[in-house]
A and B are shown apart, each in its own frame.
Chain A
Amino acid sequence: MLRFTLRRILQVVPTIVVVALLIFVIFSVVPGTFAASLFADGKRAADPQMIARLNEEFGLNKPLMERFVTYVTDLAQFDLGTSFRTRQPVIDLIGDRMGASLQLAVAAMVFAIVVGVPLGFLAALRPGSILDTVTMIGAVSGLSMPQFWLGLLMMYLFALQLNWLPSFGYGDGSLQNLILPAVTLGVTPLALLARTTRAGVLDVLNADFIRTAHSKGMSEAKVVRWHVARNALVLIVTTVGLQFGSLIGQAVVIEKLFAWPGIGSLLVDSVAIRDIPVVQGTILVIVLWFLIINTAVDLVYAAIDPRIKQE
């Protein structure tokens, strides 16, 4: 198990290196610079001296290779650089936002698991029933509805019409403000979890060993608890892991819509004004987050199903 864990952790390193390289190359070739973005809204006249001063300060007038070497050297020392816009360390900016992003992602995932897994289970145990049909129609709708649109509908219904919840913002960090963005973000993983759980449970229910358990006189409740749940768990854990890993990246739209102060909105803002160190740092953190969750999932299901680590 230790060797398996170490191997999985070491695999993260080359992935991060490749991603860092890609980000650097992409943002070196896309048109537009931070200095030019300061005049992009046309609200002030361009100032060539200031553009030159900023480019010099940020080293943007140096050759690409030299910049790349600096970037990689800093990265190797866990230095994500300094924001062009705020002149603060990128790691601090991300740190300021990470809490809100995690809060949103965890809340969305908890909502998805608590509602999605039982729904999928119940639907699988009663295939063809009304519950099954409604759950699956709901799941397909949930998967196909654009999050932006769903968020607006939620705002309209729960804030404007019913007046139950605030429509936007972080407020004082209370649960009330978290509910709408978390539910909006949680709908896609919920739908996916419901479908996956249903498929996984149906698969197990049709397996030979379940028939054997039934023929040995095991009660329905015991069969579900001992065999079905345990065997379907691997699939559920995988789906939860993958979804949780990608939630922070997916939250970009939701954070913008609900004025939620996470790293998703930080990334969007930074791309728009070409604050490259923040863009690079934020993407790296999102990728790292995804890799860590995936590694954790691998380890968890290696523990659930020992056959996996042999492969």
Chain B
Amino acid sequence: MLKRLTLAAMLGLGVATGALAAGERHGGTLVFTAPYGSSFATLDVQASPNTQEEFITQAIHRALYSWDSIQNKPVLELASSEEVSEDGTVHTYRLRDNAVFHNGKPLTADDIIYSYKRIANPKNAFPGASYIAVIKGADEFIAGKAEEISGLKKIDDHTLEITYTGPINPGFPLMQNTTVIYPSNVEDESSFAKTPVGLGAFVFKEHVPGSQVVVEKFDKYYEEGKPYLDRINIVLMAEDAARDVAFRNKEIDVSILGPTQYQAYQGEDALKDHLLEVAEVYTRNIGFNPAFEPFKDKRVRQAINHAINAPLIIERLVKNKAYPASGWLPLSSPAFDKDKAPYAFDPEKAKALLAEAGYADGFEFEVTASPNESWGVPIVEAILPMLKKVGITVKPKPVESSALGDAVTSNNFQAFIWSNLSGPDPLNALRCFYSKTAQSACNYASYSSPDFDKLYEAAQQERDPAKQGDLLRQANNIVQDDAPVWFFNYNKAVMAYQPWIHGLVPNATELAVQPYDEIWIDDTAPDARK
């Protein structure tokens, strides 16, 4: 089954790369929808961790690294080369010498140092500070105990040396939209919130608060021949139904689909051939709190995994817009174990495990859940009769999504259902099961296993990617066996696109985040768009 799913994901990738074939055409306007939230909080993207701000970031800004969706890994973006010291902690970057900010300032090492200091400035309380914390001395700077970040050293205008706290891959933290590079010559930093200046392929043109951001081609962009498009209207459309009408009416070029629309689009000839699918790096799960007596016993947690028919829920409720989970690390993770099977649906085994654990008569627990259709109350209602059959009574505890975040991070739950980031960096994803990670950080199920910790610590120190992958795979399998959560599914993100759009990629980190400088539109586009 999993092999088939992996194949499907690869095929999806093939379709998208096929769209990158020759014949690129310059010009035209892309109308891109931002389906999350419904307003851009601020145009100062260093200050905002929201997904909708990533859509602006991709157009206007660049970070030291970027995500390559085809290779499925971070790659150098603002540097042309990188030398790494023997112990893996000191990286020397040769910066691009043709990168220019939209205000005309050429990129230098000073801009990177300035940007990282701004992000880590404790007075700003910016979300990217935790990513900068991988740089040596950043913690002291964030705590207000140092004037400089000691790990940042300018060699010359185009050479920068960064010392990290360990032999990590800095690509993952330093490709984030909250760690983009700003020009250091702007006097009033507050102007970034209204008139952003970046190094990206498009220049900020207009923002209608609550409606759209318009960007236009930047003539001095460092990638020769790019971007192809003249203009992008990044439009906010939170409502699925409205997005559906606008997409069918050809007013927008791409639309992220929910389960119901996914099923409908698959059944329509005009739409089904232009769907881009990818297994995103999120794992939907029910986390069990070991402070609640029955969940202390591993057999109870395993029994719940056996008692629920996850494939049936995925088929009927989620309309196949998901892949069954076989562990924490998802299909697109480099450390995914394709040989590991998901927990089999086996109510009899579940009953036996419960009896062994002393819960032959079952017990009752509540699941804190948001209204989300794919990982909220509707899913809890679906598992209710399944668990009832093995004697467990489940009670949904509906809360709004920000209250869910509050309840989980403050350990105020018996169980919760959530969709959590589980990639693309497997080392970072498994940090959430490391016993030294605080419950309020991301060890939400308060997981603690000496065997896991040993493997995880070894993986932290391992510099050979293949060996590190092996260690993480083993660690992931320990988590699967211990079942601190019910493993539900990995999200299958689906994007419908108009037939004249080319250059979209299956971005496993977030499908809606696309490399705008690669996108082009062909002659079949409506006249208003060409």
Can you list 12 pairs linking A and B with CB atoms under 8 Å apart? A33-B402, A36-B405, A41-B419, A43-B421, A49-B129, A49-B142, A96-B210, A97-B210, A167-B246, A259-B239, A262-B210, A269-B37
Residue of A whose beta carbon sits closest to that of B48: A85
Q: A34-80: which have CB < 8 Å to B?
A: 34, 36-51, 53-54, 56-57
A285 to B310, CA, bound (A): 48
Could you give, for residues 99-138 of chain B, a 1 whenever the CB lies within 8 Å of some chain A CB and a 0 otherwise? 0000000000000000000000010010101100000000
User: Is A155's CB within 8 Å of the partner chain B?
Assistant: yes
B-chain residues with CB within 8 Å of residue A38 when the two chains form the complex: 49-50, 127, 405
Q: A43-B51, A87-B42 known; A166 and B251 CB under 8 Å?
A: yes
Could you give, for residues 245-258 of chain B, a 1 whenever the CB lies within 8 Å of some chain A CB and a 0 otherwise? 11011010000000
User: Is A235's CB within 8 Å of the partner chain B?
Assistant: no
Partner of A170, one of B208, B238, B400: B208
Q: A169-B212, A260-B211 known; A36 and B38 CB under 8 Å?
A: no
A-chain residues with CB within 8 Å of residue B239 when the two chains form the complex: 256-257, 259
Q: How far is the CB of A146 from chain B (nearest CB, A)?
A: 13
A246 to B404, CA, bound (A): 32
Could you give, for residues 152-167 of chain A, a 1 whenever the CB lies within 8 Å of some chain B CB and a 0 otherwise? 1001100110010011
User: Is A31's CB within 8 Å of the partner chain B?
Assistant: yes
B-chain residues with CB within 8 Å of residue A86 when the two chains form the complex: 41-42, 193
Whether the pair B249, A167 counts as a contact (CB closer than 8 A) is yes
Whether the pair B282, A43 counts as a contact (CB closer than 8 A) is yes
Whether the pair A45, B441 counts as a contact (CB closer than 8 A) is yes
Could you give, for residues 122-149 of chain A, a 1 whenever the CB lies within 8 Å of some chain B CB and a 0 otherwise? 0000000000000000000000000000
A144 to B42, CA, bound (A): 38
Whether the pair A163, B401 counts as a contact (CB closer than 8 A) is no
User: Is A268's CB within 8 Å of the partner chain B?
Assistant: yes
Whether the pair A48, B438 counts as a contact (CB closer than 8 A) is yes
Q: How far is the CB of B260 from chain A (nearest CB, A)?
A: 14
Partner of A51, one of B51, B122, B282, B409: B409
Of all A-B residue pairs in the complex, the 10 with the closest CB atoms, nearest first, are A261-B210, A45-B442, A37-B402, A32-B402, A32-B403, A36-B405, A261-B211, A40-B405, A53-B125, A36-B406
B-chain residues with CB within 8 Å of residue A260 when the two chains form the complex: 210-211
A-chain residues with CB within 8 Å of residue B406 when the two chains form the complex: 31-33, 36
Partner of B212, one of A39, A40, A57, A170: A170
B-chain residues with CB within 8 Å of residue A47 when the two chains form the complex: 127, 130, 441
User: Is B286's CB within 8 Å of the partner chain A?
Assistant: no
Whether the pair B402, A273 counts as a contact (CB closer than 8 A) is yes
A42 to B210, CA, bound (A): 23
Whether the pair A168, B42 counts as a contact (CB closer than 8 A) is no
Whether the pair B241, A152 counts as a contact (CB closer than 8 A) is yes
Could you give, for residues 102-131 of chain A, a 1 whenever the CB lies within 8 Å of some chain B CB and a 0 otherwise? 000000000000000000000000000000
Residue of A whose beta carbon sits closest to that of B437: A45
Known A46-B405, A156-B245, A259-B212; further 15 A-B contacts with Cβ < 8 A: A32-B405, A42-B282, A44-B421, A45-B420, A45-B432, A85-B41, A86-B193, A93-B209, A96-B209, A100-B210, A256-B38, A257-B242, A259-B237, A269-B37, A272-B402
Q: A49-B130, A170-B212, A259-B236 known; A274 and B440 CB under 8 Å?
A: no
B-chain residues with CB within 8 Å of residue A56 when the two chains form the complex: 125
B-chain residues with CB within 8 Å of residue A294 when the two chains form the complex: none
A265 to B242, CA, bound (A): 15
Could you give, for residues 195-226 of chain B, a 1 whenever the CB lies within 8 Å of some chain A CB and a 0 otherwise? 00000000000001111100000000000000
User: Is B475's CB within 8 Å of the partner chain A?
Assistant: no
Number of interface residues of A (CB under 8 A): 59
User: Is A91's CB within 8 Å of the partner chain B?
Assistant: no
User: Is A258's CB within 8 Å of the partner chain B?
Assistant: yes
A-chain residues with CB within 8 Å of residue B399 when the two chains form the complex: 31-32
Whether the pair B248, A259 counts as a contact (CB closer than 8 A) is no
Number of interface residues of B (CB under 8 A): 59
User: Is B2's CB within 8 Å of the partner chain A?
Assistant: no
Residue of B whose beta carbon sits closest to that of A30: B403
A225 to B338, CA, bound (A): 83
Q: How far is the CB of B31 from chain A (nearest CB, A)?
A: 9
Residue of B whose beta carbon sits closest to that of A86: B42
User: Is B47's CB within 8 Å of the partner chain A?
Assistant: yes
A99 to B249, CA, bound (A): 28
User: Is B407's CB within 8 Å of the partner chain A?
Assistant: yes
Whether the pair A170, B38 counts as a contact (CB closer than 8 A) is no
Residue of A whose beta carbon sits closest to that of B401: A40
Partner of A256, one of B238, B402, B407, B421: B238
User: Is B418's CB within 8 Å of the partner chain A?
Assistant: yes
Q: How far is the CB of B221 from chain A (nearest CB, A)?
A: 26
User: Is A88's CB within 8 Å of the partner chain B?
Assistant: yes
Whether the pair B405, A37 counts as a contact (CB closer than 8 A) is yes
Q: A53-B125, A160-B249, A167-B251 known; A259 and B42 CB under 8 Å?
A: no
B-chain residues with CB within 8 Å of residue A42 when the two chains form the complex: 282, 418-421
Whether the pair B211, A159 counts as a contact (CB closer than 8 A) is no
A256 to B510, CA, bound (A): 23
Whether the pair A41, B39 counts as a contact (CB closer than 8 A) is no
Q: How far is the CB of A74 from chain B (nearest CB, A)?
A: 20
User: Is B235's CB within 8 Å of the partner chain A?
Assistant: yes
A250 to B338, CA, bound (A): 52
